[in-house]
Structure 1
Amino acid sequence: MDILSSRIILRPGDYRTTLAFYRDLLGLAIAREYPGGTVFFAGQSLVEVAAHGGSDGSRSFDGALWLQVRDIGDAAAELTLAGVAIDRAPVQEPWGLHEMWIHDPDGVPIVLVEIPPEHPIRRDGRRPQD
């Protein structure tokens, strides 16, 4: 099986509120819009907010969105100024990443991550070519 692309699809109870959160508060750029939804760029992935949601109240989300930021302190300040509640303030985790947690209007957890320069994720694991 060849996977050519991927995205996360959200089906919020209140499309307009969730759309405004990702577009205006998080500042994600729009990749495309279609009748009934908006797709955002999110680094190397896409987040789609579909207008045909789970308004029956039975929605649940198991997992989290993982969004890498350049500077976790700057992100925390921007989100606070925008009125976004910080569920867990930035902290360096035992595995070396700087993480901060927020949630979207439907309660979907979002972890914002800063990867320090010395972290293994940032190292080039390729062997030098001769």
Structure 2
Amino acid sequence: MEILASRVLFRPSNYDRSLAFYRDAIGLALAREYPGGTVFYAGQSLIELAAHGAPPAGAPPFPGALWLQVRDLYATQDELRGRGVAIAREARREPWGLHEMHVDDPDGVALIFVQVPDDHPLRRDTRG
């Protein structure tokens, strides 16, 4: 099997509210719009909001989180605050070495914004 592309697909409980959150509050770039949905660029991935097929009543929340890497986490935190986005957990360095900040989308999906410091193993070339 060969995977050619992937994206995360959400069916928000309120499409317009989630569209405004991802487009205006978070500031993701638009990849495409189609009748019934919007797709955003998210680094090397895509996030799609479907305006059709809302989640079933009583459906559990998204079982996980979106991990979104940024260049400067603290500047991102200031930018999001300036747009009125509530920060669920302040930016800080974690014991595993990454800097992380948490934000919840309108349906409770956790967005984990991450900065990888220069000295972190994710930045090392392991080929040699």
Same-fold call, TM > 0.5? Answer: yes
Q: Aligned-residue CA RMSD in angstroms?
A: 1.2
- The answer to whether the 8 Å contact 1:14/1:55 transfers is no
Aligned length: 127
Identity %: 59
Counterpart for residue 27 of structure 2: 27
The TM-score normalised by the length of structure 2 is: 0.94
Counterpart for residue 5 of structure 1: 5
Counterpart for residue 43 of structure 1: 43
Q: Unaligned stretches of 5+ in structure 1? A: none
Q: Cα deviations across residues 8-41 of structure 1 (Å, max 9, x unaligned)?
A: 0010010011011111111111111111000100
- C-alpha displacement of 1:58: 2.5
The residue type equivalent to 1:2 in the other structure is E
Q: Which moved more, 1:86-95 or 1:57-66?
A: 57-66
Residue correspondence of structure 1 range 91-106 to structure 2 within 5 A: 91-106=92-107
Q: Unaligned stretches of 5+ in structure 2? A: none
The residue type equivalent to 2:32 in the other structure is R
Q: Supply the distance in 1 between the matched residues of 2:83 and 2:58 (Cα, whole angstroms).
A: 27
- The answer to whether the 8 Å contact 1:103/1:110 transfers is yes
- C-alpha displacement of 1:89: 0.3
Q: Cα deviations across residues 25-63 of structure 1 (Å, max 9, x unaligned)?
A: 111111111110001000011000100122634252100
The residue type equivalent to 2:8 in the other structure is I
Residue correspondence of structure 1 range 1-130 to structure 2 within 5 A: 1-52=1-52, 53-54=54-55, 56-127=57-128
- C-alpha displacement of 1:2: 1.3
Q: Supply the distance in 1 between the matched residues of 2:27 and 2:60 (Cα, whole angstroms).
A: 25
The residue type equivalent to 2:6 in the other structure is S
The TM-score normalised by the length of structure 1 is: 0.92
Q: Supply the distance in 1 between the matched residues of 2:58 and 2:49 (Cα, whole angstroms).
A: 17
